[in-house]
Amino acid sequence: MENNKKALVLLNMGGARRKDELKLFLTNMFNDKNIIAAPKLIRKMIAFFITTSRLNSAWKNYEEIGGFSPLNPLTEKLVDKVNENIKEYKTYQVMRYTPPFAKDVIEDMKKDGIEEVVLLPLYPQFSTTTTKSSLEDFKAYAKDSFKIKTKGTFYKNEAFNKCIIEEIKEKTNSQAGEFNLIFSAHGLPQKIVDKGDPYEKQMNKHVKILSKMLEEEGQNFKSINLAYQSKVGPMKWLDPSLDDMLENFKDENVIIYPIAFTVDNSETDFELDIEYREIAEEIGVKEFRVCKCVNDSDMFIEAIKDMIKFK
């Protein structure tokens, strides 16, 4: 490992470990030009307003899941396992809105003598708000320090999709026919999609791929659906919303898979498993199950091996 000149860098959004880090997360996110397309000064004012108005209520949500995002410990485990299993590279993590930040990790990589870098954004589908933002951030700080290759979307990767299918099968416990499956994706404002962001198209394609794989495995759900979570503010977001989708399943069983994420975070552990569970109970959904992300599973490590092959 000491003589390894190649690095694999796993890119993700980040997650808060305490309240001041949640403030940092929100501040950095709403200052991101890929999130809010406004002049820098306007963006800074918007970020300040949103952060100060939402911090306390957002922190209460974190307190319900133990006071920190599960994304951090899970990503550390993932990095350790990738380092153990993929010896060709030294693996690092870089987060967009909370430490470890690109600028600091890049300095560590220089000290480690890294010459070649493979960037793997941990977002299955491409969006300007996630993949593009994380890649731009890393490359801006790296400048010409390394020879960089980028792996883009991996929603078509069979090894990755097998991880998802296995988790769904485990959660249904051979009773797929009694459940309605909802793939829940993080929402996006409609205007971002209208400007050409491919996220929605890729999400639809991903659901088709997974639906076909489930059918081939004999997993015949009552229905398979796509819905979007996490809408904030008055503007139009992608629909159907998860709230509206759940209205269709009074007195029925529902299983949720968080299709936009690879590592569990506050949006899976709080939003899906607590907030939307309460909504489902109010609607009268009979049974509500939430799948885990691929996280640091052995199958996902094998999928990463497959993803970073350069044909």
Give the H or E element holding residue 129. Answer: none
Q: For 44-70, b where at least 16 C-beta lie within 10 A, e where not — what string?
A: eeebeebbeeebeebbebbeebeebbb
186 is in an annotated binding site: yes
Q: Average pLDDT for consecutive 10-residue bins of the chain (311 residues)?
A: 80 97 94 87 86 92 96 98 96 98 98 97 98 97 96 96 97 94 97 96 98 96 97 89 98 98 97 98 98 98 91 48
- 6-154+298-307 matches 158-290 in fold: yes
In whole angstroms, give the CA distance from residue 289 to residue 257: 9
If you classify domain 158-290 with CATH, what class do you get? alpha beta
Name the burial class of residue 311, with classes exposed (0-12), middle (13-18) and buried (19+) by CB atoms within 10 angstroms of its CB. exposed
Fold (topology level) of 6-154+298-307: Rossmann fold (3.40.50)
64 is in an annotated binding site: no
Query: In terms of Cα–Cα distance, which of 247, 273, 129 is closest to 187?
Result: 129
pLDDT in tens, 252-310: 999 999 999 999 999 999 999 999 999 999 999 999 999 999 999 999 999 999 999 86
CB proximity list for 23: less than 8 A, separation 6 or greater: 51, 55
Give the H or E element holding residue 10. Answer: strand 6-12
Asked if residues 235 and 269 have their Cβ atoms less than 8 Å apart, the reply is no
